[in-house]
Amino acid sequence: MLKGKTIVLGVTGSIAAYKLANLASMLVKQHADVQVIMTQNATNFINPITFETLTQNRCLVDTFDRNFEFQVEHVSLAKKADAFLVAPASANVIGKIAGGIADDMLTTTLMACAGRTPKCALMIAPAMNTNMYQNPIVQENIAKLSRYGYEIIAPAVGHLACGDTGSGKLPEETVLMEYVLRACAFKKDMVGKHVLVTAGATRESIDPVRFITNHSTGKMGVALARMAAYRGAEVTLVAAAMEVAPPMFCEVIHVTSAADMFEEVTKRQQDMDIILKAAAVADYRPAVVSGEKIKKKEEKSSLSLERTGDILQYLGDHKRPGQYLCGFSMETEHMLEHSQEKLHKKHADMIVANNLRTPGAGFGVDTNIVTLITENGTRELGLHSKNEVAGEILDEIMNVVTPTPAAE
């Protein structure tokens, strides 16, 4: 995801500095060019050789390192940086950045990045004792940086190295990675777009113990929400039962039944530019729900079912001008015929179809094989990760949808 991108990590004097070694490794695995700058105090917590081994780049510490080939290093690095993350960011370094002080390699390089055009993504991840973090001066400095365009990554709450419990803990490396990916991994062609995604499997109660559901894990819907957020969209995820965590940077609405999802989706429809119906919604529900657990009997038992509300049909029938509606079709036979019929009947702009019987496609796996069906024809995608499939779907949509003027 980060091939061709230069990510600068600024590491300051904090016990949490050890986490940045893993983050550097994660970034390298995404093919990023990772450059690490450390304050002198940071070298007391982790050796620069660790970062040099992981990144295959020289770790910079001293602004005037005479053993290094001379160049204005802070300027040259600032010119090529796509993102600059200061993590862990100590109260001292936050104060220096907020005050415009540039007295070492980290702060001088960051100042050069902050003043450059086109802009480099600037992120600060504070990490310190809870009382220090809550100090009004530190909070004022953080607010000042936010006003100047720095993204502040809120610290986690937990047990700190000093023994206290509270806010000030550096977030996990996976969280920091998500911020970097959102900052620079993808074009921002969806800035200003409001996107609604549904995901997961609805559950229709039979009694207080049992319910009817399906095998959907929510992975495809989560991938769509994540990739749309990476590309700058404001994403609302309406999530039924899922086996994966919702992505960051999205508003998440949790629902249980098809009726719940119908209500939450339809009341938000008119505010959305793009709707992606990736959830596996039950077509039927029990006609009568027992208030008590149904006891097992020796004789056969039957269950009377009734239709649930057709969310995609409602959205298609009430689609506002300029709104893009994408549905999904999971089939076991006659996939193209059934999906094309669904496209026309539901008044959708696209149907993403796949066959449950195709290896590598369907529920519970990290890959998918889909066919994108529109009025203009069909396009088959080979075996890809669900993140890659999500990216292809969004590309197809954005070929039709006009980006907002704010989009880059």
CATH code: domain of residue 81: 3.40.50.1950
Strands 305-307 and 284-286: antiparallel
Both tokens of 281, joined, read: 């919604």
The pLDDT value recorded for residue 70 is 44
Closest-CA residue to 90 (of 43, 143, 133): 133
- The verdict on 207 and 347 lying in the same domain is yes
Q: Of the candidates 75, 55, 63, which has an alpha carbon nearest to the alpha carbon of residue 7? A: 55
Residue in the structure block whose two tokens are 């076991």:
332
Q: Residue 305 is encoded by which pair of tokens?
A: 């079912």
Task: Tell me: do 153 and 288 sit in the same domain.
Answer: no
Neighbouring C-alpha atoms within 13 Å toward the C-beta of 59: 22
Residue 47: which residues within 8 A CB-CB, separation 6 or more? Answer: none
CA Rg value for the chain: 25
> Do 100 and 234 lie in a common domain?
no
Q: In the listed set 184, 209, 227, which residue is the last one of a domain according to the structure?
A: 184
Whether residue 227 sits in one domain with residue 138 = no
DSSP state of 16: G
Domain tally for the chain? 2
Q: pTM for the complete prediction?
A: 0.91
Decide if 311 is inside a domain. Answer: yes
Beta-bridged to residue 34, according to DSSP, are: 7
Q: What is the pLDDT of residues 217-271, one digit of tens each?
A: 999 999 999 999 999 999 999 999 999 999 999 999 999 999 999 999 999 999 9
pLDDT tens figures, 181-203: 999 999 999 999 999 999 999 99
Residues belonging to the active site? 162
In a domain, 266, yes or no: yes
Residue 74 domain boundaries = 6-184
Q: Is residue 178 within a helix (H) or strand (E), and if so which, with residue range?
A: helix 173-184
| Boundary of a domain, candidates 138, 163, 184 | 184
Whether residues 259 and 390 share a domain: the answer is: yes
Tell me if 129 is assigned to some domain.
yes
Same domain, 155 and 16: yes
Residues 231 and 175 in one domain: no
Tens of pLDDT, residue by residue over 78-102, are 889 999 999 999 999 999 999 999 9
| Tally: H helices and E strands in the chain | 13, 21
Report the C-alpha gap between 155 and 158 in whole angstroms: 9
Q: Please, are residues 389 and 223 in contact by the beta-carbon 8 Å criterion?
A: yes
Q: Is residue 300 part of a domain?
A: yes
Which 8-state DSSP code applies to residue 45?
T
Cα–Cα distance list, 48 to 54, 58, 305 (Å):
10, 8, 65
Last residue of a domain, one of 155, 184, 213: 184
Tens-of-pLDDT digits for all 408 residues of the chain? 899 999 999 999 999 999 999 999 999 999 999 999 999 999 999 999 999 999 999 999 976 655 554 455 667 888 899 999 999 999 999 999 999 999 999 999 999 998 877 789 999 999 999 999 999 999 999 999 999 999 999 999 988 777 888 889 999 999 999 999 999 999 999 999 999 999 999 999 999 999 999 999 999 999 999 999 999 999 999 999 999 999 999 999 999 999 999 999 999 999 999 999 999 999 999 999 999 999 988 788 899 999 999 999 999 999 999 999 999 998 888 899 999 999 999 999 999 998 878 888 878 889 999 999 999 999 999 899 999 999 999 999 999 998 876 554
| CB atoms inside a 10 Å sphere around CB 213 | 17
Residue 403 within a domain: no
Domain CATH code at residue 226 = 3.40.50.10300
Residue at 1 is within a domain: no
Q: Indicate whether 254 and 167 sit together in one domain.
A: no
How confident is the model at residue 67, as a pLDDT? 52
